[in-house]
Chain A
Amino acid sequence: MPGRYDRSALAVDQATRDGGSAEATQVEFRAATKRYAGAERDAVHRLELDVPAGEICVFVGPSGCGKTTAMRMVNRMVEISEGDILVGGRSVRERSPAQLRREIGYVIQQTGLYPHRTVAANIATVPRLLKWNRARIEARVEELLELVSLDAELRDRYPAQLSGGQQQRVGVARALAANPGVMLMDEPFGAVDPINRERLQNEFLRLQAEVRKTILFVTHDIDEAIKMGDRIAILREGGRLAQYATPAELLMAPADQFVEGFVGADRALKRLSLMRVSDIDLWQAPLAFPGQSTSEVRAKLDGAEISHALVIDSDRRPLGWLSEADLAADTVPKRPSTGPEPVLELDDVMRDALSDVLQAETLYAPVVDAQGRIAGVLSVEIISEFLTSADALEEEHPAPERPLAER
């Protein structure tokens, strides 16, 4: 799939160090059904799908479609009425629920962090249940805090002292603590504001590239599903599977009218979620340093791709754009009159990048790498060029043969 992070990177050897259920395990739904007494329809109806090890499978659908119920059947928070679910080839019914759950990571929307325990104690919950010795737990907590980009000094804080985003990270760290093969995540980023949600999503994808767990992820947001999922299972009311496919397939070949409607009419734009800023050739702006003579800069501007100069510091971080007024002076000022915002990252998903650019009402946005150094400039023009080439891409990858419903 073009533009996707290279998911073939293998998991870090944490597994071997801990000796827990290290490798990601596959999850298989075998006609899994949940029926509540006295209900007209099944909550989940004969769900049949396979989640390959190490992949993120997103359950998405309108409210009441049974996506959360289906996920909770995997760790038996909801008991299966008919059919079966296999984790790592073994039926979930084989072990006692408590034992099963200790091998599965569990992240919920409200985090459910224990208010009476410190961050470190929260993270250590399952290792303690598994009776790890103290040294091992300490080491693991430290490791996880780093993994989710949390300051080590937060370990002795209580959840009430953390921001929403920080709490979510602790929730994820806690679920990863015993190195489970499977993780269940129920709208984990739902309670966070949109800006932080984007950040958390990106970080989580980076994390997943490192740890490679099998993840069942529930969301009601189709955009999040497309961004996060390797495969997406769209459920309709009554817990029935409407389509189970990769995001690209879903966008290019929706199975029926319901799926099409759910994915949204802006499928073309949604495909931008599948690409990253790093996937395209960025333009290069003429660069200027504070203190440089403006006549030099003016010379660079002649015949450049972009008719504005970008000021960077000694670490090659963007400081802002030079205006005409700035250029009238002798030297480049340290603080140009226009700031560099929005600053995009190479890792950013194209859709988010476009959204940021449009919202800031600028023509150009500097793009930096993971260390914050300038890598190029993105503009709306480039994006529209790219879209046209993406259309060309569609012809190279013909859609699978599936009848499209009449509009």
Chain B
Amino acid sequence: MTAAAHLTPILAQLGPEFFKERSDTGCVQENGAFCFSWAADNFDRYVTPTLEHVMLVVPSVVIGFAIAFGLALLSHRRRWLVPPITGATGVLYTVPSIAFFFLLLPITGRGTDTAIIALTAYTLQIIYRNIVAGLANVPPAARDSGRGMGMTDRQLLWRVELPLAVPEIIAGLRIATVSTVALATLAVFAGAGGLGDPIYADITFKTNVVIAGGLAVLLAIAFDGILIVTQRLLSPWRTVRPV
């Protein structure tokens, strides 16, 4: 089969034709590099996909964080757990999300749930590793003096170790979030919508690809920015200069 001939059956299965009015203006008809007027007129088509996209990314990262955090607490005083957990989350990270979507299909069916499960699995390793690394990097002197002053293990963890690990934890969250935003474009294959939806609907229409792809990138930048600000707020002691 030639490449083009092969493409046709795929395009035939695509979802609702968003872009039937392709034959509207000259720019669109010729599929010019970027049709500004079309973009301006049709921008609201992308609102729902963007919201869907956010609703895929945020729950995935939040749940991923919760699980990774629990695992990290578990392995904090039991170091022997770290290699097996890292290995297990590593497998989940390696399996391509798109394959994961379809592996889950028989179990959880098409839809947002499947996508979120797969996306969550993808974030586990990086968040877990960063939490563990952050806790390990706490200055031993601070730990020693904390214990020596009468903190219980739990108090030491929540008052000293975790606050000091925050920068590294948030670094992991940033990576996880940005990756998830990028990966969620594939959620369309799981029937979960998101910005992959408009892309897949008309993959050859240049303007469409640019807008949807661009929105995904902007979303990633926005989340990254929010997390950076959060980190600054949570760890003001990092930004001071030695006097």
- A touching B, CB within 8 angstroms: yes
Does chain B have a CB within 8 A of A100? yes
**Are the C-beta atoms of B164 and A116 separated by less than 8 Å?**
yes
Q: How far is the CB of A315 from chain B (nearest CB, A)?
A: 30
Most B CB within 10 A of own CB, among A100, A111, A160, A163: A160
A 101-151 contacts with B by CB, 8 A? 101-103, 106, 108, 110-117, 125-126, 129
- Cβ proximity bits B19-30 to A, threshold 8 Å, 1 near / 0 not: 000000000000
Q: Which residues of A contact B148 (CB under 8 A)?
A: 75, 77, 101, 106, 108, 112, 184
Does chain A have a CB within 8 A of B12? no
Q: List 28 A-B contacts (CB under 8 A).
A: A77-B148, A98-B151, A99-B150, A100-B150, A102-B149, A108-B145, A110-B139, A111-B141, A111-B145, A112-B139, A112-B142, A112-B143, A112-B146, A113-B142, A114-B164, A115-B164, A115-B237, A116-B160, A117-B237, A126-B150, A129-B150, A129-B155, A157-B240, A157-B243, A158-B240, A160-B240, A163-B243, A174-B149
Alpha-carbon separation in the docked complex, A406 to B144 (Å): 44
- The count of A-to-B residue pairs whose CB atoms sit within 8 angstroms is 78
**Are the C-beta atoms of A106 and B145 separated by less than 8 Å?**
yes
Residues of B in contact, count (CB < 8 Å): 24
**Are the C-beta atoms of A162 and B243 separated by less than 8 Å?**
yes
**Are the C-beta atoms of B152 and A161 separated by less than 8 Å?**
no
Most A CB within 10 A of own CB, among B141, B148, B151, B235: B148
Please classify the interface of chain B as helix (H, G, I), strand (E, B), loop, or mixed, using the class held by over half of its residues. helix
Does chain A have a CB within 8 A of B163? yes
Contacts A101-B149, A115-B164, A162-B243 given; does A108 touch B235 at CB 8 Å? no
Please name the residue on chain A nearest to B164 by beta carbon: A116
Q: Which residues of A contact B144 (CB under 8 A)?
A: 77, 108, 112
Alpha-carbon separation in the docked complex, A162 to B241 (Å): 10
**Are the C-beta atoms of B139 and A106 separated by less than 8 Å?**
no
Q: How far is the CB of A161 from chain B (nearest CB, A)?
A: 4
B 222-243 contacts with A by CB, 8 A? 235-237, 240-243
Q: Tell me which of A101, A102, A112 contacts B141 (CB under 8 A).
A: A112
Alpha-carbon separation in the docked complex, A98 to B154 (Å): 11
Alpha-carbon separation in the docked complex, A171 to B142 (Å): 11
Q: How far is the CB of B26 from chain A (nearest CB, A)?
A: 61
Q: Which residues of B contact A75 (CB under 8 A)?
A: 148
